[in-house]
Structures are given as structure tokens and as C-alpha cells.
Amino acid sequence: MARPKISDPRTTLRSGLPDRYLTPEDLLELFDLDSAETLYTWRKTGTGPPGFRVGRHLRWDPAVVQAWVAQQSATDAA
């Protein structure tokens, strides 16, 4: 089953994120990524929003993801 496409993560972030830590699946949908490997590569290289482990599970704070997207937008605009 195909995921619905999200045109711009900034729009989704402005509309509000869940009141919980984000899962890899949440970020895949938010950034319209095809593979979780991209998230793991981002984490390993420090390119994407910083995540953290809860036991063996990887999670992201919605506020940190929102700040990261804002920073990327500001960098692109400069």
C-alpha cells in the first residue's frame, strides 16, 4: 500500500506534531523517505535531526525535529 505524499515537512510541523516521541515510521512519513536506512545514516553522520535511544528503539523529540527543519529552512534561504 502506498503512503500518501507530504509535500513539505514544514507545513506538517506547523500544523502540529503528536504529543509523543516520534518513531522512525513517523519520520519516514514526515520527510517522505523510502527507507529507514536513510534515518540511520543521518543519525550516524549527524546530518539529520538528532534522535535518541529508548532501550533498543530509536525516537525523536518533536520539538527538536521542528527546530532542525527550521534551521534547514534558514540555511537554505541564506
Tens digit of each residue's pLDDT (9 = 90 or more) over 35-68: 999 999 999 999 999 999 999 999 999 999 999 9
Domains in the chain: how many in total?
1
Q: Is residue 29 part of a domain?
A: yes
Q: Is residue 36 part of a domain?
A: yes
SS3 59: strand
Beta-strand relationship, 52-54 and 57-59: antiparallel
Q: Which of 4-13, 26-35, 40-49 has the lowest mean pLDDT?
A: 4-13
**Res 1: pLDDT:** 47
Q: Is residue 48 part of a domain?
A: yes
**Res 75: pLDDT:** 79
Q: Is residue 55 part of a domain?
A: yes
**Res 49: pLDDT:** 95
For residue 52, give the CATH number of its domain: 1.10.10
Candidates 45, 44, 5; CA nearest to 28 is 5
Q: Is residue 43 part of a domain?
A: yes
Q: Is residue 3 part of a domain?
A: no
Range of the domain at 14: 9-77
Buried b (16+ CB within 10 A) or exposed e, 6-25: eeebeebbeeebeeebbbbe
pTM of the full structure: 0.72
The model's confidence at residue 73, banded by pLDDT at 50, 70 and 90, is confident
